[in-house]
């Protein structure tokens, strides 16, 4: 058994970003400043969007996307239940109602075929979630949105490197929101980014994200001289700090290098688990680029003597950290009680919820770490095989 515990989602942080953070501290520009501006431009260039607005979290970005898009109390927003709570919570914080539709298997993304059936006169937007880094069926979703006059807000928390039919995720929907949380492919500790080509959306997100102050408010204390600001919206404190951007500037430069390493680990897992009582992730769809954010297996419970939670605990006892992505939102008390959901309302999301385990997948992992994960999974599943 492995001697030390392998932390799930531990990021790879290198000397360049450490030094950049130190330089940032010494410069006096600690909160939103020139490094945020640089990071925004670099990210916009990477994605190919007209605008990129940095924020303190993807959750903040989802909330501001709702506001920028004009989502109001009484509106409905269609999304998947197979996602983190922030996706639905942002809809609720805007006063709207999240409307869940089931996922498709084996992709585990929102089933585009079901979206149109859930559209009502109250529907204003749809939020596809690129789960684990796999792009959703965006051609179908965009066609539905266009024919029904809906706004498309992409939750790309897992999908920084993803591409769909030659287009970067971040350039397809009306607004796209990314995450730079500590477990993500690009890490700033906490942090997020919105991309859009819409002038009005970008202006609203930037202003709402910093107390509703007029654009470029951080410059008021620069060496260009003090400048008065104006409050144009009742905003929030969602801005990214230069300390965070200091990490992002260097993480972004290595994004494709890190993806190559995660792809190598992905293939090792696929080969090792091919004959085991589990389902490995489906191959990327033709014409797409998978960001390989999460390597999520689905246990074949009918071939095992215990449930998923027992398997996860057994891996923990083998000193292997794992994650669960996700327990479908309709199974959580708040959504279940508020919207009167039953467990089998979304049978495919329920199926995944009972079987999913995410294994360690990070550029930080050594070959020995990967071998330890494989060996532990094999030992545990052999122990509980029928």
Q: Any idea what the Cα angle at residue 279 is, between residues 274 and 285, rounded to 5°?
A: 95
Residue-wise DSSP of 35-49: HHHHHHHHHHHHHT-
* R_g over Cα of the chain: 21
- d(CA 121, CA 217) in angstroms, rounded, equals 39
Longest Cα separation, the chain: 73
Across 225-247, b (16+ Cβ under 10 Å) vs e yields eeeebeeebebbebbbbbbbbbb
Distances (CA, A) of 215 to 38, 194, 206, 212, 230: 16, 15, 7, 9, 9
**Other beta carbons within 10 Å of 323:** 18
Distances (CA, A) of 21 to 37, 242, 251, 350: 15, 8, 12, 43
For residue 176, what are the β-bridge partners? Answer: 154, 195
Q: Any idea what the Cα angle at residue 24 is, between residues 22 and 27, rounded to 5°?
A: 110
> Is 348 annotated as catalytic?
no
Choosing from 184, 253, 260, 364, which is the catalytic residue?
A: 184
- d(CA 356, CA 328) in angstroms, rounded, equals 11
Output the CA torsion sign for 84, 355, 106, 99. negative
- d(CA 91, CA 74) in angstroms, rounded, equals 11
Exposed/middle/buried for 63, CB within 10 Å: 0-12, 13-18, 19+? buried
- d(CA 313, CA 319) in angstroms, rounded, equals 10
Provide the annotated active-site residues.
184
């Amino acid at each position: 058994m492995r001697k030390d515990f392998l932390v799930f989602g531990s990021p790879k942080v290198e000397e360049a970003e450490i030094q950049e953070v130190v330089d940032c501290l010494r410069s006096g520009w600690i909160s939103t400043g020139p490094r945020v501006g640089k990071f925004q431009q670099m990210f916009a260039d990477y994605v190919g969007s007209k605008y990129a607005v940095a924020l303190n979290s993807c959750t903040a970005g989802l909330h501001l996307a709702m506001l920028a898009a004009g989502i109001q109390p009484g509106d409905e927003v269609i999304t998947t239940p197979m996602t983190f709570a922030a996706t639905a919570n942002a809809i609720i914080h805007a006063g709207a109602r999240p409307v869940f539709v089931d996922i498709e298997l084996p992709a585990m993304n929102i089933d585009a075929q079901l979206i149109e059936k859930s559209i009502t006169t109250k529907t204003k937007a749809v939020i596809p979630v690129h789960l684990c880094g796999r792009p959703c069926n965006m051609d179908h979703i965009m066609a539905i949105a266009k024919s029904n006059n809906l706004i498309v807000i992409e939750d790309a928390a897992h999908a920084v490197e993803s591409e769909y039919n030659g287009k970067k995720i971040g350039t397809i929907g009306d607004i796209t929101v990314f995450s730079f949380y500590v477990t993500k492919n690009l890490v700033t500790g906490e942090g997020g980014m919105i991309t859009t080509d819409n002038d009005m959306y970008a202006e609203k997100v930037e202003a709402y994200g910093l107390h509703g102050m007029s654009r470029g408010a951080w410059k008021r204390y620069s060496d260009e001289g003090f400048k008065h600001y104006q409050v144009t919206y009742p905003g929030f404190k969602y801005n990214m700090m230069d300390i965070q951007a200091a990490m992002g500037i260097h993480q972004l430069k290595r994004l494709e290098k890190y993806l190559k390493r995660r792809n190598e680990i992905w293939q090792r897992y696929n080969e090792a688990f091919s004959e085991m009582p589990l389902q490995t992730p489906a191959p990327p769809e033709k014409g797409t680029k998978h960001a390989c954010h999460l390597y999520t297996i689905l246990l074949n419970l009918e071939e095992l003597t215990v449930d998923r939670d027992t398997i996860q605990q057994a891996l923990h006892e083998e000193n292997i950290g794992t994650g669960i992505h996700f327990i479908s939102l309709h199974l959580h008390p708040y959504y279940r009680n508020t919207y009167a959901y039953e467990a089998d309302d979304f049978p495919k999301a329920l199926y995944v919820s009972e079987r999913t385990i995410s294994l360690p997948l990070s550029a930080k992992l050594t070959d020995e770490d990967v071998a330890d994960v494989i060996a532990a999974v094999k030992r545990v599943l052999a122990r509980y095989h029928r």
